[in-house]
Amino acid sequence: MIEFLTGSNSLLFIYYLLSNLIYLGLLITAIYSTVRHQRQLGLVRLERVRMSPLAPPISLLVPAHNEEKSIVASVDSLLALEYPEFEVIVANDGSTDGTLAALKARYQLLETDILYVPEVPSRPVRAVYMSQVEPRLLVVDKEAGGSKADAVNAAFNAASSPYICVVDADSILERDALVRIVVPILTDPKRVIAAGGIVRVLNGSSIQDGRMKEVRLPRRAVERIQVVEYLRAFLVGREGWAFFNMLTIISGAFGIFRRDLVRAVGGYRPAAIGEDIDLVMRLHRHMRQQKADYHISFVPDPVCWTEVPSDLRSLARQRARWQKGLLDVLWPNRDMLWPTPYGRIGLVALPYLWIWELLAPVIELGGMVTIIAAAAMGALSREFFIQFLVFGYAFATMISIGSVLLEEITFKRYNRWKDMALLICFCFAEHFPYRQLHLVWRLQGLVQYFRGDLKWKSVTRSGFEKLEQRT
């Protein structure tokens, strides 16, 4: 028994060591990629993109289900974006609150008989509205589909641009976000088929007239630690994976795609729990099977601000849903776990998702049990415990601090030194006790999936109105 516990603890130590080494490599890569991106911006000249008639038209797709508190502010912010040609298409997914009424009142919507062609599947559309005051706005009112993917598909069917950009109804884009996110497409239009922007935490900041007025850290600890988590996930994780063309997820809150390729793969899978990773995975599959030369990019500076859960119950529901969404994508695509014809996706990216994302809570829980058992039996050596703390906690914390410092050096959204000091302090809490809470929530997600509990559980949000009252 002691030999088993010793061997298990050694494997756990190797697991944490490899995990942190991978993230260290991603951090170094992200720093290099960010520097390269800054140089690329100097060559493109964003002012020219803002005015250029050659910039590709974009359809902004906004799925909305019971978004009465934020929908008007969100659409206002989208219509105020600085970009030559775009349209905003809101898909009202059977809302039972005042979402549609708020849109009708603000934009003087008028029902039309415009031709609606269902190129990709969605629940039936009840009506299509055009605005009498804003010609760039279209509202699709549909029956509730029970998923964000179904709503996006309905908006997709009404889109007319060669590129689509999916934006959450509870999010706000910075004015130049579209100009910045198309930079990879403009520099390499034949290869770049999709690009994701960075998503940042809106909580605590103030907005005015649909625009970010002042960036501040949230007041609650549960919100602040998500700021660190988002910086680590986007500035390090996604930036690093995209550099090697192995990005497997573009956030559902802000991403741009070639419309023809999304149509080619059948649009969003209506039953998908994690529609963002599901679409990107199917795009990888399609392009690899076609033996096409392509790239899925990540752009670190076009910012989407989104409201994150402000209480543990809502956060637990969200993270459980993310874990269910990951399993819902990885299992049907298990045949891609092979280098031919899926290359680095099947050889590196998918194994990483299986071992260090999907199975991580199971592996870590088993490791905790063996460590406790070894300690109870007197088989836990002091040397192992110190090494475990160094490589399982201190090393990971340093990587989180590195992501915060990368934010401060390059993008400087948090200008107050107190905010940066607080973020660094919360880096120490990300891996204890937050990581253990996260482990429990992810395990709940796996259990719920196997029990057949695939329903979307609502997340409590304050809405933009409350944020505007702070200004």
Side chain identity, residue 444: Q
pLDDT per position as a tens digit, 229-261: 999 999 999 999 999 999 999 998 899 999 999
Task: State the residue for tokens 């660094």.
Answer: 424
Distance spanning both ends of the chain, measured CA to CA: 62
Q: Which among 218, 250, 219, 245 has a CA at the least distance from the CA of 233? A: 250
The secondary element (H helix, E strand) that includes residue 46 is: helix 46-51
Is 202 in a helix, a strand, or coil? Answer: coil
pLDDT for position 386: 81
80-to-139, 172, 396 alpha-carbon distances in Å:
17, 11, 40
User: Could you tell me if 165 and 270 are in contact, meaning their C-beta atoms sit under 8 angstroms apart?
Assistant: no
Could you tell me the pTM of the whole model?
0.92
pLDDT for position 397: 92
User: For 30-39, 75-84, 121-130, 204-213, which range has the lowest pLDDT when averaged over its residues?
Assistant: 204-213
The CATH number of the structural domain formed by 19-44+170-350+464-468 is: 3.90.550
pLDDT per position as a tens digit, 91-117: 999 999 999 999 999 999 999 988 889
Mean pLDDT (whole number) for 2-19: 87
Q: How far is Cα 155 from Cα 347, in angstroms, rounded to an integer?
A: 35
User: Could you tell me if 262 and 250 are in contact, meaning their C-beta atoms sit under 8 angstroms apart?
Assistant: no
Residue of 402 and 375 predicted with greater confidence: 402
Structure tokens at 190: 């034949």
Kindly tell me the burial class for residue 260, based on how many C-beta atoms sit within 10 Å of its own C-beta (0-12, 13-18, 19 or more).
exposed
pLDDT per position as a tens digit, 151-172: 999 999 999 999 999 998 888 8
Q: What angle do CA 153, 448, 321 make, to 5 degrees?
A: 40
The domain limits of the chain are 19-44+170-350+464-468
Q: Above 80 in pLDDT, residue 459?
A: no
Q: How far is Cα 70 from Cα 170, in angstroms, rounded to an integer?
A: 6
DSSP-assigned letter for residue 355:
I
User: Could you tell me if 174 and 147 are in contact, meaning their C-beta atoms sit under 8 angstroms apart?
Assistant: no
Q: How far is Cα 28 from Cα 49, in angstroms, rounded to an integer?
A: 30
Is 248 in a helix, a strand, or coil? Answer: coil
Mean pLDDT (whole number) for 426-450: 93
Residue of 87 and 414 predicted with greater confidence: 87
Q: Above 80 in pLDDT, residue 215?
A: yes
Q: Above 70 in pLDDT, residue 451?
A: yes
pLDDT for position 457: 58
DSSP-assigned letter for residue 147:
S
pLDDT per position as a tens digit, 322-347: 999 999 999 999 999 988 889 999 99
pLDDT for position 145: 87
